[in-house]
Amino acid sequence: NRRSPLYTFFILSILLILACKYAAKQDQPTISIKDKPTTEMPIPVLPAAPGDYAEDWKIVDSLERQGLFKSALERVEAIQAKAANDKNHPQTVKALLYRGKYTTQLEEDGFVKAIQMFESETAGAKYPEKAVLQSILGQLYTTYLSNQGWRINDRTPIPDGEGGDILTWSAAQIEKRALEYYSASVSQESVLRNTPVESFRDILTPSQGDTVNGQVLRPTLFDLLAHRALEQFANERSWLNEPAYAFQIDQAAAFSPADDFVKTPFESKDSTSGKWLAIRLFQRILDNPEKGTAPVIVADLLRLQFVHNSSVREDKDSLYRISLEALHRKYSDRPADSEIAYQLALLLYGLEAENDKGQNAAAAVALCEDAIKRHPETYGAALCRNLLVSIRATSLNITVEDVSLPQEKALVLVQFRNLDKIYVKVVKGNFDPDFMTEVPYEKQLTRILSLPQVQSRQWPVKNPGDYKSHSTEIALEGLPPGQYWVLASETADFDSRNGIVAYTSYMVSNLAVVPFREKGDPNFVTVHRRSGAPLAGVNLEFFAPRYQRKNDKTVIKTAVSNSSGIAKPDLPDNTYSEVRASLNDDTLWVGSYSRYHDYNRREQRLQVHFFTDRSLYRPGQTVYFKGILFENDQDGKPQIVTGRAATVKFFDTNDQEKSRLQVRSNEFGTFNGAFTAPAAGLTG
């Protein structure tokens, strides 16, 4: 969706950043009144312009800063009375918002009481103030449900209708009430269309994207309230049960040009369907005689985005593309077209296929470049610039085998994007396993570059200009045995501030070491990496793991391979170590190895499975059960246990024993019996 539409009610800063207090854990048996989680309204940000009654609001602000919320509330109530007498609707709404905030801070269940206060004031309000209050109430209910849903969702709906108030309603009822208020807020369309949004400037906070080339996007109160309602209707909700006849956007006509779209009947049996309510409201918004203006163009674009996101049609991508292209052609000379171009470019870039050779991405780039050129100062142009950065972004990653043979070329897999050359460097390591220990990530590259360089080269890579990721292989020159780091960069200076630098380590060795077990004991076979021939005299050293040894690299155990290439270290049970192999000037870190006691004998213990005649019982009902006794043999296979005496106990929900039976398994390992469920007490 577009950025925050037009002037945003400054109540959004009050209502959309709400916190839940969790004073008591869910698993506690009781929650006192004081411990109930509450939804709070934080201190709002006032509009930049002081508006009417500026001196009175300065006093309110001063009292609030001193923490004198009760005095501030009294002052706000006086402002509301003055505004009501002056028929100053914006100031009346502003005062109500502050009353709600201070009520939340001062009273228990304050947020609920704030909602009830708004309900009372809305009932007696006149238009257009009433419509604004209805929109706020819809948001208050939604906010409460969002923050308290984890508790409310466990409430059981009342079959004969839900009386009472928000403290007893189910989540579905609260969600339904929010939808009703949002719908009611735009019901008096003619009154709202004749009310300039500027008349409510005292409770509006200007947004960066309120205009397109100086034209206001939500010029009337209807536009503003309608788009607030759309944000709620278009939101996927989980509180309402979806009926079998749920409304789905499956008509191609939903993508039609605006003139045809507003005439299309969209029928639904489900009057609470957010998608249906949104479609109907879009029809009302677009049925506007001022066609071709920025508000209508942007609203039409929002409609197409919504339909594309919500449609269940398999061809929705192609329908969306056709609609965007038609809208782009129709309004190419309007500043709002930059946003159409952005959405079309975003779609094309997202539709990038494996075999299209980058035509869609190239088209997206062309669209964005053209939009920026024609309408450089618009919001859509800013979006296009960001998209171009994403499309043209470079990427670089390298992968190399852990171990290569001495003096033979080592292949490096290079994965890259939007690059035509890379710089490669190899430096000599020192086999120190703690070389990078406790080195902050941002300093690792500097640490590696401090090692002596042994190779350096620039490699050209083929960039087909399709903005996709590609891969190729490069061959490093052969090196003597040792440990090395290979680095790849898009810049010659290998400075991560100027471009991507990828790095990884690898070893060069003739050694290969394979662990195996013999009668539960750890052994290692050492062979030549190329020929597989066994190697005698290979020294294996076992070090404590890094988290244990700190700076102490003392060898725990050593072992030397025999003429068959086998080394048998005498490692104690429950040992975890890091292994290093060496033969003359050839060294190889094998990795980690653990030895734990092998419990070959499987645990044998008596087990039972119960079966009952039903899954749920009423109080006082008979519980018939059957059980089977078994235990696992040496191979872990279950075997029935016959002729075994056992005691079966019956507990209530408080883990209090209510009854017991003595039973004995028959020749099939089974037994049976019955209990009577408690007729009184807690169920569970």
Q: Please give the helix or strand (H or E) that residue 560 lies within, else none.
A: strand 555-560
Query: What count of residues does the chain have?
Result: 684
Q: How many CB atoms lie within 10 A of CB 151?
A: 14
Q: What's the token pair of residue 478? A: 């052969």
User: Closest by alpha carbon to 481, among 347, 624, 584?
Assistant: 584
The predicted model gives 630-658 an average pLDDT of 84
CA distances to 74, 161, 180, 311, 676 from 156, in Å: 39, 11, 21, 32, 28
CB proximity list for 252: less than 8 A, separation 6 or greater: 313, 315, 319
Higher pLDDT, 30 or 37: 37
pLDDT at res. 77: 92
| Token representation of residue 221 | 């109160």
* Confidence check: pLDDT of 51 > 80: no
Strand partners, 514: 525
Share of the chain above pLDDT 90, in %: 47
3-state secondary structure 212-280: ECCEECCCEHHHHHHHHHHHHHCCCCCCCCCCCCCCCCCCHHHHCCHHHHCCCCCCCCCCCCHHHHHHH
Q: What pLDDT score was predicted for residue 581?
A: 92
Q: Which letter does DSSP use for residue 317 in this model? A: H
Min mean pLDDT across 110-124, 366-380, 569-583, 591-605 is at 591-605
**pLDDT given for residue 20 in this prediction:** 32
Reported confidence tier of residue 156, pLDDT bands at 50, 70, 90: low
373 has a pLDDT exceeding 80: yes
pLDDT of residue 367 exceeding 90, the answer is: yes
Read off the tokens for 568: 């048998």
At 28 the pLDDT is 28
pLDDT tens profile 424-451: 999 999 887 778 877 888 899 999 999 9
Write out 362-430 in H/E/C secondary structure.
HHHHHHHHHHHHHCCCCHHHHHHHHHHHHHCCCEEEEEECCEECCCCCEEEEEEEECCCEEEEEEEECC
pLDDT band at 328 (very low <50, low <70, confident <90, very high): very high
List the single range of 5-19, 180-194, 357-371 with lowest mean pLDDT: 5-19
Least confidently predicted of 225-229, 278-282, 531-535, 637-641: 637-641
Omega before residue 572 within 30° of 0, cis: no
Nearest to 624 by CA among 665, 671, 562, 682: 671
**What is the tens place of the pLDDT at every residue in 292-308?**
888 999 999 999 999 99
Residue 588 has what pLDDT?
A: 92
Please tell me the predicted confidence (pLDDT) of residue 21: 29
pLDDT above 90: residue 364: yes
Q: What is the pLDDT of residue 202?
A: 81
Mean pLDDT of 180-193: 93
pLDDT confidence of 107, banded at 50, 70, 90? confident
Question: Would you place residue 239 in the very low, low, confident or very high pLDDT band (cuts 50, 70, 90)?
Answer: low
Whether the predicted pLDDT of 175 surpasses 80: yes
589-636 pLDDT per residue, tens: 887 777 665 544 445 678 898 888 877 888 888 999 999 998 877 666
Contact present, 511 and 588 (Cβ < 8 Å): yes
Tokens linked to 614 = 């039903």
pLDDT band at 23 (very low <50, low <70, confident <90, very high): very low
Q: What is the pLDDT confidence band of residue 661, given thresholds at 50, 70 and 90?
A: very high
Query: For all residues of the chain together, what is the average pLDDT?
Result: 83
pLDDT number for residue 550: 56
Q: What distance in Å separates the CA atoms of residue 10 and residue 590, rounded to the nearest whole number?
A: 63
pLDDT band at 356 (very low <50, low <70, confident <90, very high): low
Condensed to tens digits (0 to 9), the pLDDT of residues 248-280 reads 889 999 999 999 999 999 988 888 888 899 999
Burial class (CB in 10 A: 0-12, 13-18, 19+), 240: middle
